[in-house]
Structure 1
Amino acid sequence: MTSQQTLTKEGGSPEEPGNPQSSSGLQAGLKNRHLSMIAIGGVIGAGLFVGSGSGIAAAGPAILLSYALVGTMVVFVMRMLGEMAAANPTSGSFSAYADRALGRWAGFSIGWLYWFFWVVVLAVEATAGAVILESWIPAVPQWAWALIVMVVLTATNLASVASYGEFEFWFAGIKVVAIGAFVVIGLLAVFGVLPGSDNPGAGFAHLTDAGGFFPEGYGAILTGVLMVVFSFMGSEIVTLAAGESEDPQRAVTKATNSVIWRIGVFYLGSIFVVLTLLPWNDKSIVKDGSYVAALNSIGIPHAGQIMNVIVLTAVLSCLNSGLYTASRMAFSLGRRGDAPKSFAKTNSRGVPKVAILSSVVFGFVAVFFNYQWPDTVFAFLLNSSGAVALFVWLVIAVTQLRMRGIIERESPEKLVVKMWLFPGLTWATIGMISFVLIYMLFDDAGREQVLLSLLVAAVVIAIAVGREWFGRGGRSAGPEDAAIPHQSGEKDSVTRS
C-alpha cells in the first residue's frame, strides 16, 4: 500500500496518522501493560480454582497429562490465531478471518456462537460471584449481588476501553500473584523447607503412593481432558483486544510467544503442587477444593476465605472480559452486516454502547433463568454452549490453513508470527480437536453438551446459509474486510487521499 492509501478503520472513517480514534470507531485505549496482563489473565479462569478438584478425583495424578494435552492443543491454536492476528488485527478476530477464508456463513456462525458462549458465561460467573458475596454479607440476597456485580462491570465497560483494561490489569495481577505465591510456597512445603509448615514434606511420593500414577487407568486421561478443556477458554481474548491497542502487532506477537510458559506455570505448576502436597484421593480435595485443601495441609490459617477472595477476583475478571469480548464480537458482526447496524455504532469515547448493552441484557436474562428455572431453561443454555470452545478452536485451525496462503500471496511481510511445521501441525491439531469432540459423544457427561451445542450450531449455520441463499445478507466490503488481505482480483476497501 502506498502513502497515498490509508486503510479504513473499523469505525468507518479514514485513519489519520497519530490519531488513536476515528470519528466513530473504536479507540486505541489499551496500553501495552493492559494487553500483557490480559494475555496472562486470559488463561486463568475461575474453573482452574473451582473445577480442578473434580478432575484430580477422576484421573488421579494422571490429570497432569490431561492438562498437558489440552495445554498443548491451546498453544497450537493460539499460535495459529497469533499468525493471523499479528498480520491483521481486528475486533472480529477469528470470526472475521473465517468470514474471509471460509465464507461469510462461517464468520457469521462462529461469531454468533462465540457471542452466545460468553453471554451465558456472564450468568454463570455473576451467580458464582453472588454466592461468595452473600456468604460474606448475607443481609443482601444472592440475586441482588448478581445484579450489583453485573451493573458495576457494565458501567466499567461503558466508560471506556481503558477502564476495562485497567480493571482487568488489576484483576489479572491478583490472580497471577496468588498463583505464583501458591506455587512457590507449595514447593517449599513439598520439600519440607517451609518454616512452620504442617505438611510432612513427602517430596514427589504422593504422585505414586496411592495406586500409582494411573490409579484410574490410562483411559482416565481422556476423561480428565473433557473435565479441564473448558477452563482454558479465554486465551484468545487478547487477539480481540489487540485491535484497540497502541501497537497491536507487538501485543499479539508477545502474547503468542508467551502462552507456553503461562500454561506451564499457572496450570501444570499449580496442579503439580496440589498433587505433591496431598494424596490424590484425599477427600478434602473435592470437599474443600484442591487449592484450599493444599493450603490447609500447609497450615495456612483462613485458607478457605483467602481462596474465596482469589476466586471472586477470577470471577470478576471473567465477567469483565466476558462482557468486553461479547460486545466486541457483536460490534464486529455489526460492521460486517451480520448483526443490527446499531451494534457497530460507537460513542464519543470509542465505546460500542449498543453492543455492550445488548450483550449484558441477554446476560441478565440468563441470570434470571438461572434463578427461576435452573434445571431446565438455564441447563439447556449451559449445555448448548458447552462445546463452543472446541468449535471455535476447530474453526481457527481450519481458517489458518486458508489464510496462510492468502497472506503469503498478498502480504508476506506481515507473517511476523508463523505456525510451526505448517501445515502438518495444523492438521494434527484439527485431528486432536475432532477426536475430543467425538470422544465426548461416548462420554455420559459430555454427550449432552456436544449434541445440544451441535443443535444450536446447526440452527445458526442454517440461518447464515438462508440469509445468503435469499440474498438478505448482502453487503459491500466494509472496514472489517479492509483489515484482511483480499485475494487477487478483489477490490480492496481503502480510502484514497
Structure 2
Amino acid sequence: MTSQPSLAKADSNPSSPGEPQSGGTGDTGDGLKAGLKNRHLSMIAIGGVIGAGLFVGSSSGIAAAGPAILISYALVGTMVVLVMRMLGEMAAARPTSGSFSTYADQALGRWAGFSIGWLYWFFWVVVLAVEATAGAVILNGWIPAVPQWGWALIVMVVLTATNLVSVGSYGEFEFWFAGIKVVAIGGFVVIGLLAVFGLLPGSDNPGAGFAHLTDAGGFMPKGAGAILTGVLMVVFSFMGSEIVTLAAGESEDPQRAVTKATNSVIWRIGVFYLGSILVVITLLPWNDKSITEHGSYVAALNSIGIPHAGQVMNVIVLTAVLSCLNSGLYTASRMAFSLGQRGDAPKAFARTNERGVPRAAILGSVVFGFVAVWFNYQWKDTVFDFLLNSSGAVALFVWLMICFTQLRMRGIILREEPEKLVVKMWLFPYLTWVTIAMISFVLVYMLTDETGRKQVLLSLLAAAFVVVFSVVREKVRPRVDA
C-alpha cells in the first residue's frame, strides 16, 4: 500500500500538467466552473435517489416478497443512508469532482482510486446504453415512424449537447427532470393515501385502509427469506444517490450543498421509496395480476380511476430515463476528468474549455456509450449481456469502497483539517463496520441467486482486471505528481 499523502498535496494537480488553470470568479480551482446553483444541487440531491428502476422494477419485487417488500426497501434504504452519511462526511470536508475515487486515492492508495474510478465510469457508460434504449422504446411507441435506434441516437446527441454547453445547462435540465419526478411521486403518494382511506372524491378504489397488507396470505406470504430476495431486486434502483457529491465540486457553496443533501437523505428515501411502495400495496392486494401485467404504479393509478394511467406513467418513466441519461453522462465525464487530473486517464480528459467544460472527458464517455448502444442492438444476448452483468455489482463495490475509505479518511481529516469535519458519521467506527457487513452479506447472498451470481462473478472479474492493471501500471510508471 502506498504511503498516505496529505490532502493538500493529493488535490494539487492542475487540470492539465504544464497548462495554466482557469481563473476568474466562479472557478473551482481545477479548471471547472462553479456553474451549479443551490437550487440545482437541491433538486439533484432529491432526484438522485429516484431512478427509472423504481417505476419499472418495483412490480417484480412486490411479486417476489409481497407486502414484506417494504422491509427490503427499508433495509436497502438504511444501507444507502449510512453510506451517504460516510460520503457526506468526506465530501463536505473536501468537495471534488472525483468524490469517493479521489478519497480512496488519498486514504487507501492509488490502486484504490484508480480502480473504483474506472469501474464507476464503466458502470455509468453501460447505464447510458440501457437508459437510451429504454427511452427509445417509449418514444418509438408514440412515434413509430422513427426506429428505436434512431430515437436512442437522438436522445444521446441532445443530452451530450447540453452537457457540452456548460455545467449550468446540465444543472438546468436536471432541475426540471428531477422536479417532474419529485412532483409526480409526491402527488402519487398524497392522492394514493387519500384513496387508501376512502377520502378521495370519485375514486374507484374501495378504500380498504391497511387491510391489503395482511389479507392475502399475511404480511410475509412467501416467508422471511423472500425479504432477502427482494433486497437483491431493489438494491440497484438506489444507485445515483452519490451523484450530488460529485456535482458539489461545481457548485456555489459545496459544503452547504453536501451537508443539506446528506441530512435530507432519510426523508427522501422514506417518502419516495417507502411511501410510494406503501401506497401501491395498500391500494391493491400484492398478488393482484394487474401489478405484474401493467406495472405497480400503473395498476395503482388504474385502481383509483386515473384516466390514461399507462400513458401518464410512460411520460414519468421517460422523464426518469432522460434524467438518468443526463446525470449518467455528467457523472461519467466528471469521473474521467478527475482520473485525468490524477494521471490515471489521458491528460486530455483533464482539460477544460473556456466555459469550464471537460469536453474530451464528455466525448470519450459518450463514445463508449454509443458503442454500448450499438452492442445492445447487434449482440444483445452476448456482448451487451456481458457488459451489463460485468457492471451489475459495481454499485455495491463502490459503496463498500466508500466505507473502507471513510475508516481511514476520518483520521486524515482530523489530523490536517479538523475544522472541516462538519458532517460526522454516526457512532464511528461501529456503524461503518456494520454497513460493511451489510453490503458484504448482500454480495454473498447474491451468489445464491442465478442472476445475482453471474453479476457478482463477472463484476469481480472486471474489478480484478482493473486492480491488476492499476498495480502493474503503478510499478512501471512514476506518479505524475511524484
- Tell whether the structures are fold-level matches, with TM greater than 0.5: yes
State the match for 2:268 in structure 1.
Answer: 262
Could you tell me how far apart the structure 1 residues matched to 2:302 and 2:146 are?
29
Runs of 4+ in 1 over 3 A off after TM superposition: 7-16
Answering whether residue 285 of structure 2 is matched by residue 279 of structure 1, we say yes
Map of 1:6-85 to 2, 5 A cutoff? 11=15, 19-21=25-27, 25-85=31-91
1:239-288 superposed Cα distances (whole Å, 9 cap, x missing partner): 00000001000000000000000000000000000000000001111110
TM-score (norm 1): 0.93
| SS in structure 1 at match of 2:131 | helix
CA contact (8 A) 1:203 1:276 kept: yes
Work out which of the residue numbers 420, 438, 444 in structure 2 matches 1:432: 438
1:62-91 superposed Cα distances (whole Å, 9 cap, x missing partner): 000000000000000000000000000000
| SS in structure 2 at match of 1:227 | helix
State the match for 1:363 in structure 2.
Answer: 369
Answering whether residue 479 of structure 2 is matched by residue 474 of structure 1, we say yes
Work out which of the residue numbers 241, 247, 252 in structure 1 matches 2:247: 241
CA contact (8 A) 1:81 1:396 kept: yes
Displacement of 1:9 after TM fit? 8.0
Answering whether residue 415 of structure 2 is matched by residue 403 of structure 1, we say no
State the match for 1:304 in structure 2.
Answer: 310
1:95-153 superposed Cα distances (whole Å, 9 cap, x missing partner): 00000100000000000000000000000000000000000000000000000000000
Answering whether residue 217 of structure 2 is matched by residue 214 of structure 1, we say no
| SS in structure 1 at match of 2:480 | coil
State the match for 2:98 in structure 1.
Answer: 92
Answering whether residue 391 of structure 2 is matched by residue 385 of structure 1, we say yes
1:146-200 superposed Cα distances (whole Å, 9 cap, x missing partner): 0000000000000000000000000000000000000000000000010110011
State the match for 1:134 in structure 2.
Answer: 140
Could you tell me how far apart the structure 1 residues matched to 2:251 and 2:222 are?
47
Could you tell me how far apart the structure 1 residues matched to 2:49 and 2:480 are?
36
CA contact (8 A) 2:98 2:339 kept: yes
State the match for 1:486 in structure 2.
Answer: none
Unaligned 5+ residue runs, structure 1?
478-497
1:393-450 superposed Cα distances (whole Å, 9 cap, x missing partner): 0000000000001111111100000000000000000000000001101112210000
Could you tell me how far apart the structure 2 residues matched to 1:445 and 1:22 are?
43
Displacement of 1:15 after TM fit? 8.2
CA contact (8 A) 2:14 2:21 kept: no
TM-score (norm 2): 0.96
Matched letter for residue 131 of structure 1? V
CA contact (8 A) 1:337 1:473 kept: no
Instruction: Note closer, same or farther for the CA distance 1:437–1:179 as it changes in structure 2 (3 Å cut).
Output: same
Map of 1:456-471 to 2, 5 A cutoff? 456-470=462-476
| SS in structure 1 at match of 2:95 | coil
State the match for 2:334 in structure 1.
Answer: 328
CA contact (8 A) 1:345 1:354 kept: yes
| SS in structure 2 at match of 1:375 | helix
CA contact (8 A) 1:198 1:298 kept: yes
Matched letter for residue 121 of structure 1? V
CA contact (8 A) 1:10 1:26 kept: no
Instruction: Note closer, same or farther for the CA distance 1:23–1:88 as it changes in structure 2 (3 Å cut).
Output: closer
1:324-375 superposed Cα distances (whole Å, 9 cap, x missing partner): 0000000000000000000001011100000000000000000000000110
1:453-485 superposed Cα distances (whole Å, 9 cap, x missing partner): 000000000000101122x252216xxxxxxxx
State the match for 1:487 in structure 2.
Answer: none
| SS in structure 2 at match of 1:376 | helix
Work out which of the residue numbers 145, 149, 153 in structure 2 matches 1:147: 153
State the match for 2:236 in structure 1.
Answer: 230
Matched letter for residue 303 of structure 1? A
Displacement of 1:11 after TM fit? 3.4
CA contact (8 A) 2:28 2:250 kept: no
In the alignment of these two chains, the number of paired residues is: 470
Could you tell me how far apart the structure 1 residues matched to 2:140 and 2:478 are?
46
CA contact (8 A) 1:24 1:348 kept: no
Could you tell me how far apart the structure 2 residues matched to 1:185 and 1:146 are?
34
| SS in structure 1 at match of 2:381 | coil
Of 127-136 and 435-444, the range deviating more from structure 2: 435-444
Could you tell me how far apart the structure 2 residues matched to 1:103 and 1:221 are?
37
Matched letter for residue 370 of structure 1? N
Answering whether residue 344 of structure 2 is matched by residue 344 of structure 1, we say no
Matched letter for residue 104 of structure 1? R
Unaligned 5+ residue runs, structure 2?
1-8
State the match for 1:162 in structure 2.
Answer: 168
Could you tell me how far apart the structure 2 residues matched to 1:14 and 1:234 are?
30
Map of 1:113-124 to 2, 5 A cutoff? 113-124=119-130
Displacement of 1:22 after TM fit? 6.6
Instruction: Note closer, same or farther for the CA distance 1:230–1:473 as it changes in structure 2 (3 Å cut).
Output: farther
Could you tell me how far apart the structure 2 residues matched to 1:156 and 1:218 are?
47
Work out which of the residue numbers 351, 356, 359 in structure 2 matches 1:353: 359
Could you tell me how far apart the structure 2 residues matched to 1:473 and 1:297 are?
64
Could you tell me how far apart the structure 1 residues matched to 2:349 and 2:478 are?
16
Could you tell me how far apart the structure 1 residues matched to 2:447 and 2:410 are?
32
State the match for 1:481 in structure 2.
Answer: none
Could you tell me how far apart the structure 1 residues matched to 2:363 and 2:392 are?
24
Could you tell me how far apart the structure 2 residues matched to 1:23 and 1:98 are?
21
Matched letter for residue 233 of structure 2? M
Identity of aligned residues (%): 84
Displacement of 1:290 after TM fit? 0.2
Could you tell me how far apart the structure 2 residues matched to 1:227 and 1:388 are?
15
CA contact (8 A) 2:21 2:31 kept: no
